[in-house]
Amino acid sequence: MIVSARVKLLALMAIFALPMVVAWAMVTLQWGIPEGRTAHGNLDVELPMLGEWPIDQFHKEDASDWVIVYDCGQQCTEDADRWWRLHRALGREAHRLSRVRIGGDGDALPGEHVAHWQQQPDWTTDGRVWIGDPEGMVMLEYPSNIETALVLDDIEKLFKMNPEPEFSPLDESSRALSVEPAEETRHES
């Protein structure tokens, strides 16, 4: 059976055009597009920037870090351990997250910074957890009874959707020292 050149050309054009037609139909007709969101926390957070919270200090390890902030409640020791374990579960991505504990009397766990409310706002309760982006905006909010695995899942998704830059800018302390080339000495004979 001999297939004409025109039929081959039309088949080739259909192969490349079909995905575009299907995508256009999906967007126009809202067909096959998932409607639910995948975050486990509250995405509609209207809180002040983390740096504006009424706490005595706010500290991050690095300016490009994401932040997990939790209001340490009655079970402060358990909460601190829980979020420390979450931080460790991030593995090689753990350096991208800073932990800030608000309240509690115990010493800070490794990698944790402790702050205290200067005046406790009405939008918080004991055990509440927030995830903040590197600029300090609160992205997600969780109730005190949230499963740790769900928060870990959200953080991993955030890290995947916001990859770490390949090259971070050098700060003044890590700049290489410039070395002046040595002057050539001339020996006259």
Split at pLDDT 50, 70, 90, the class of 123 is confident
111 near 117, Cβ under 8 Å? no
pLDDT at 152 over 90: yes
For residue range 51-110, list pLDDT tens digits in order.
888 888 777 777 788 999 999 877 788 888 999 999 999 999 999 999 999 988 878 888
DSSP 96: G
93 near 159, Cβ under 8 Å? yes
pLDDT at 174 over 60: no
Query: Residue range 142-155: average pLDDT?
Result: 91
Split at pLDDT 50, 70, 90, the class of 129 is very high
User: Class for domain 50-161, per CATH?
Assistant: alpha beta
For residue range 24-45, list pLDDT tens digits in order.
888 888 777 766 667 788 887 7
Tell me, what's the pLDDT at 25? 86
Give the whole-angstrom CA distance, residue 131 versus residue 138. 6
127 Ramachandran zone, left/alpha/beta (phi>0; psi -120 to 50): left
pLDDT at 176 over 60: no
Burial (CB count <10 Å: 0-12, 13-18, 19+), residue 132: buried
Split at pLDDT 50, 70, 90, the class of 178 is very low
